[in-house]
Amino acid sequence: MKKNFCLFTIFLFAFSSVSMAWHDPTDGKPFFPWAWEDQLKPTLKKSVDGKGVTLLAVGTGLTFTTRIYDHKIHDSNNEDGILMGKEDAAYWGKLGNGVIGMSLALTQLAFDQSNGLKTVRTLLLATTSQTAISAVARRNRPDNRTDFLPWPSAFPSGHATSAYALAGSLAYSYGWPVGVPAYAVASAIGIARIREARHWASDVVAGATIGTFWARASFKADENPDTAMIVPVPVDDGLMLMAVKDW
């Protein structure tokens, strides 16, 4: 009951300052060209800027470092249950199945269309990336547990990917008063997946990296650069320096 109240509080706070105002985001443009040119393409472009690449590199390093200790974490967790109780793990594990994330994204679209579109972009790109990587990696789950896809898909964790993508979206949308509890919930979901032996620890770290990476890229894609270039312009008395904004 307390956990449900906590989630309700996050939702209520997030949408307390916005009102329902829907309009056609495509402005009459055909859907698929709009989705690619106005939504996905700018996000993909922004994802490979300096900070985005750095975030991905750090997350990749942490993933490989964590992978060294995967079996030790798994064995310790099975013996002592150090991460989380079984009942709590079952609750948080179910919470991260993606239904809450999509529900919140649809709610954003209704109440806060601009941020809602960014959240949808984030979840779409994060889920696509996670599925593609899992199809290549084909890593088995701990204790050879059953899988949800036609191939072994432990790496990276889909629950962690979507949870951190949503947490990042909430943080960028409404600031840290919402982002902090959202990241706490995402972390609880990730820990639950390890506690239930559904994923190795490095699977969760990789999922957190992917989700955070795409959340940043999606929200940075709509930012207008404030950078300017100083250009010398000839005048009658010599030269005048003019600041020209970078398009």
Tell me the DSSP string of 181-238: HHHHHHHHHHHHHHHTTSS-HHHHHHHHHHHHHHHHHHHHTTPPP--EEEEEEEETTE
Give the span between the Cα atoms of 76 and 80, in whole angstroms.
6
Give the span between the Cα atoms of 196 and 27, in whole angstroms.
46
The pLDDT score that the predictor gives to residue 13 is 47
Written as six digits, the tokens of 71 are 């079996």
Closest CA to 104 of 174, 56, 48, 39: 174
Give the span between the Cα atoms of 60 and 67, in whole angstroms.
11
Positions in the chain short of pLDDT 50:
1-2, 5, 8-9, 12-13, 16-17, 19, 225-233, 235, 238-247
pLDDT tens profile 106-159:
898 888 988 999 999 999 999 999 999 999 999 999 988 888 778 899 999 999
Written as six digits, the tokens of 233 are 């312009």
Backbone angles phi, psi at 120, to 5 degrees: -60, -45
Map out the domains of the chain with their CATH numbers: 2-12+29-245 (1.20.144)
Handedness of CA 13, 18, 21, 22 (dihedral sign): negative
Radius of gyration of the chain (CA): 21
